[in-house]
C-alpha cells in the first residue's frame, strides 16, 4: 500500500515552484515583447504605404529608445530600435552614436518635438559628427536639433518659401539650405547666423557640397545643374540637364 504523502508535499510535487513560475513568466515576457513589436510593424506596413511606413517604424523605434535603459529590458530590443533608426537616417550614425543609443547613454525622451518637426518637413540631414540634425519645416524655416538631448538648438528664419533641400559642409560648420524662393542660404551652425545668400532665379530642387568643401552643386527647377565655389559663390559650371545623354 503506498505511503501517505503530506498534502503540502503532494502539491509541491504536482505543481511548479514559485521560482519556476517567475522564471517562466520572465522568459515569456522576453519572447512576447519582440513578437508584439513585430506584429505592430506588420500592422503598420499593411495599414500605410510608401514613405509613411518608414516614418512609423522610426516612431516605434524612438518610443523604445525614449525609455531609460534598464537591466529588465528584453535582450536586443534597444539594439533593434537603434538599427531601425539608423537604417532610416539620411546619414548613417557613427559607431559611437550607435553604441550610445544601444546602451541608453543618449536620452531620446524629449525627441517628440523632432519627430513632429520631421512630420511637417520636406528635408532632413544629419550633421557629419552625428550630434545634430537639421529639419526643413512647412513654416519656411530650418530647425536644428541636438540628437543627444532632443532639444531644438536653432530655428533659422529668412526664407520666403518652402525649404526643399539641406546639406552640411563636411566640417559641420556650415549648413546650406535650398528653397523654392530661388535661393541658397548658408548658415553658421555654431551661432545660427545667416552668412550668405545665393540667388539662382529658379526654385532649388537639390544641393550637395563636395568632400573637399570647395564646391556647391545645385539642381534647379529649370533643369540646370550649377556648380559654385563655396568661397565666394562664383559660378564655375552650368549644365543643362536635358542636353545630357
CATH code for the domain of 114 = 2.130.10.10
Tens-place pLDDT, residues 59-107: 777 777 777 777 767 778 888 888 887 787 655 677 877 888 788 776 5
Q: Same domain, yes or no, for 183 and 209?
A: yes
Same domain, 125 and 227: yes
Residues 85 and 147 in one domain: no
In a shared domain, residues 150 and 232: yes
Q: What is the mean pLDDT of residues 178-205?
A: 94
- The better pLDDT of the pair 122, 244 is held by 122
| Grid cell in block for residue 97 | 552614436
* Residue 15, domain extent: 1-109
Same-domain status, 137 and 16: no
Total number of domains in the chain: 2
Do residue 11 and residue 83 come from a single domain? yes
50 and 97 belong to one structural domain: yes
pLDDT at 236 over 80: yes
Contact (Cβ atoms closer than 8 angstroms) between residue 209 and residue 196 = no
Residues 138 and 222 in one domain: yes
- Residue by residue, what is the 3-state secondary structure of the chain? CCCCCCHHHHHHHHCCCHHHHHHHHHHHHHHHHHHHHHHHHHHHHHHCCCHHHHHHHHHHHHHHHCCCCCCCCCCCHHHHHHHHHHHCCCCCCCHHHHHHHHHCCCCCCCCHHHHHHHHCEEEEEECCCCCEEEEEECCCEEEEEECCCCCEEEEEECCCCCEEEEEECCCCCEEEEEECCCEEEEEECCCCCEEEEEECCCCEEEEEECCCCCEEEEEECCCEEEEEECCCCCEEEEEEHHHCC
Do 114 and 134 lie in a common domain?
yes
In the chain, % of residues over pLDDT 70: 66
Kindly report whether the global pTM for this prediction surpasses the value 0.85.
no
C-alpha cell at 49: 504605404
pLDDT tens string 32-70: 444 445 445 555 555 545 555 566 677 777 777 777 777
Whether 215 and 94 share a structural domain: no
Amino acid at each position: 500500500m503506498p505511503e501517505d504523502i503530506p498534502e503540502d508535499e503532494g502539491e509541491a510535487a504536482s505543481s511548479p515552484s514559485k521560482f519556476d513560475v517567475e522564471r517562466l513568466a520572465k522568459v515569456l515576457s522576453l519572447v512576447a515583447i519582440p513578437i508584439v513589436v513585430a506584429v505592430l510593424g506588420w500592422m503598420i506596413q499593411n495599414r500605410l504605404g510608401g514613405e509613411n511606413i518608414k516614418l512609423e517604424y522610426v516612431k516605434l523605434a524612438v518610443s523604445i529608445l525614449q525609455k531609460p535603459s534598464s537591466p529588465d529590458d528584453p535582450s536586443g530590443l534597444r539594439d533593434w530600435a537603434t538599427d531601425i533608426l539608423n537604417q532610416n537616417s539620411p546619414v548613417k550614425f557613427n559607431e559611437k552614436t550607435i553604441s550610445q543609443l544601444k546602451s541608453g547613454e543618449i536620452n531620446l525622451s524629449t525627441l517628440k518635438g523632432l519627430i513632429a518637426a520631421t512630420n511637417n518637413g520636406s528635408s532632413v540631414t544629419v550633421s557629419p559628427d552625428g550630434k545634430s540634425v537639421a529639419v526643413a519645416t512647412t513654416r519656411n524655416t530650418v530647425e536644428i536639433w541636438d540628437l543627444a538631448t532632443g532639444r531644438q538648438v536653432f530655428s533659422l528664419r529668412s526664407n520666403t518659401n518652402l525649404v526643399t533641400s539641406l546639406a552640411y559642409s563636411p566640417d559641420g560648420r556650415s549648413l546650406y539650405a535650398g528653397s523654392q524662393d530661388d535661393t541658397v542660404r548658408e548658415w553658421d551652425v555654431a551661432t545660427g547666423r545667416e552668412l550668405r545668400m545665393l540667388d539662382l532665379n529658379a526654385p532649388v530642387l537639390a544641393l550637395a557640397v563636395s568632400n573637399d568643401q570647395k564646391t556647391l552643386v545645385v539642381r534647379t527647377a529649370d533643369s540646370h545643374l550649377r556648380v559654385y565655389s563655396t568661397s565666394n559663390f562664383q559660378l564655375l559650371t552650368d549644365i543643362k540637364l536635358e542636353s545630357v545623354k
